[in-house]
Amino acid sequence: MVIEKVGVIGAGQMGNGIAHVFALAGFDVLLNDISQDSLDKAMATISHNLDRQVSREKITQAAMDDAIARIKTTMNLEELGKTDLVIEAATEREDVKNAIFEKLLPHLKPETILTSNTSSISITRLASRTDRPEKFMGFHFMNPVPIMQLVELIRGIATDEETYLALVAVVEKLGKTAASAEDFPAFIVNRILMPMINEAVYTLYEGVGSVRSIDESMKLGANHPMGPLELADFIGLDTCLAIMNVLHEGLADTKYRPCPLLTKYVEAGWLGRKTDRGFYDYRGETPVPTR
């Protein structure tokens, strides 16, 4: 199974990072979004990030130029039908993902592999809504994609071995490391990470520590590069809440109950860095705790 052309659905933070690493690894990339503005911003971000890699001598100028030349953009989802591999990186909502697959399916080649970059939603359930559950997998990249080395590969109950091995080979070509995860809520990384973040929010909610003391404690006491609340702001509090809800509903265990304070921040629209306010306020020169 030869994979040369890759379609990426969604030009946001994850989608532009995925397009970046695939183009740099020699794949032809077709990047799709419903907004031309989002596509333009994605290409500017990719160019900026590649330029930074050149300045740090991670890649050559020629490699950057070649990578940018390999990325094409389109607002027409049907155009992705000619690709060998599709990676859906749209918002973390199952109804949105299902609607995208439904619209795309009639245009796909029979052999095209369909994947989702979902961080928590059942791969088996997403695959069951398509015409190719045996060629459907979870392909979960970590954020920021150009820097993080891990890719979680999640097989649904119907995924065949050929599809799995094809994606293992793709991850190797990207220069990243694959970790195989079973299809249970939030897979491996977020099954462990999100309850830790949620517990940090409970620690704040119950007044055990302030935002700054919680983050400093985990950075200096557990040697974490970022504190859990700072990390939550980086990920997006809406994404953290969505994953906690998937864990809570999917595993029916009260230990996964989202902290009410996390819900409150999301209701306020304080989603972290992307809205300039979360557990920190980013509107000034340096982040200031909001609690």
| Annotated active-site residue in 16, 88, 117, 140 | 140
Q: What angle do CA 274, 256, 120 make, to 5 degrees?
A: 55
Asked about 140 being catalytic, the answer comes back as yes
Among residues 167, 122, 175, 117, the alpha carbon closest in space to that of 142 is found at 117
Annotated catalytic residue: which of 16, 116, 119, 122?
119
| 180 has catalytic annotation | no
Dist CA 283 CA 156 (whole Å):
42
Catalytic residue among 49, 88, 92, 152: 152
Distance CA 123, CA 202 (A): 30
The continuous run of DSSP H or E covering 168 comes out as helix 161-174
Rg (alpha carbons) of the chain, rounded to whole number:
19
DSSP H/E element including 5: strand 5-9
Residue 31 sits at the vertex; the CA angle it makes with 162 and 99, to the nearest 5 degrees, is: 75
Contact between residue 279 and residue 212 where contact means Cβ atoms under 8 Å apart: no
Is 267 noted as a catalytic residue in this protein? no
Give φ, ψ of 244 to 5 degrees.
-65, -40
Instruction: Provide the 3-class DSSP secondary structure of residue 150.
Output: strand
Quick check: is 49 catalytic? Answer: no
Residue of 122, 190, 198, 230 marked catalytic: 190
Residue positions annotated with a catalytic role:
119, 140, 152, 190
